[in-house]
Chains A and B, each alone.
Chain A
């Protein structure tokens, strides 16, 4: 085949050159639309956000460079920013709870029991659902008067009087987090399950022969080998949860007060109800740097490349 190609190339040198150019044109014209979309809606916005955060600007008045004023206001004069930041960090910190539950479930559905595919499907079912509808459902599950959770708690005599979950400063954020975990659980489970199935079975057999009990096998084989999967879960779950604008917006709209305000909902309110695009851009940049930092740290800790697709 190589011979044939060389022969053709020798006979028609112009054709060979033209062919490679044509190939390059084909490749770049195939890439162009996607590249354009990403430049327009990913790269350009990133730069524009940074630029905007150093300016005083609104659609009505021309842009003025004001240096770090937006950041100064954010750090020193805005209590809501700090509240939203803490709530966002709280949601990030809650991701391991969901992952721990999912790890248990993955171990269970990975055993060779009957009907495990049905279990997998049912547990995973909540993930692809429309979050707005999920938020409405959970809003109502948590309702003070007629919510199912309060009903069960009262029947079991766990509480004296119903808890107004979403109207309480203590309970609102945990309730939103619970709804978020409910939705993400199946996704975590699937990722961990894939990781479990990649662990070679003979490792367990060897360990069993050496006399290691089930708990030690889990601790010394399963957990270390699952580390990349668990961190992948954390990175994706964290990104999904803190950007889950719809869940918070519909369940509580950030209330009561600012008890469930997270950065993304606050950014939305600043930009689109108060028309403070410039200031909201400064918050967006901060939010982005936070996400990047957490992802980077998780990557370092996982020792792999969680969140990234293999380059080849």
Chain B
């Protein structure tokens, strides 16, 4: 498994949570439409965890609701500098 370079790459984290400013309030877990962010309830000591970073919609609801602006949405390189040839998305013609 570890010999596979694709699998060795870390998964991009789209939801950066600043541990210094996060008030551990649970709102990001509460609002995430994709069930990505897990925060232990009723525990003001633990940080939220982005459990499924590769399932993010980049909707920004977590960022929008964070009361202390502790969340930054970071787009991965393949979105920011997308190199895909659009024609490759347009199908194959089977003769």
Whether A and B are associated in the same complex: the answer reads no
Residues of B bordering A, CB below 8 Å: none
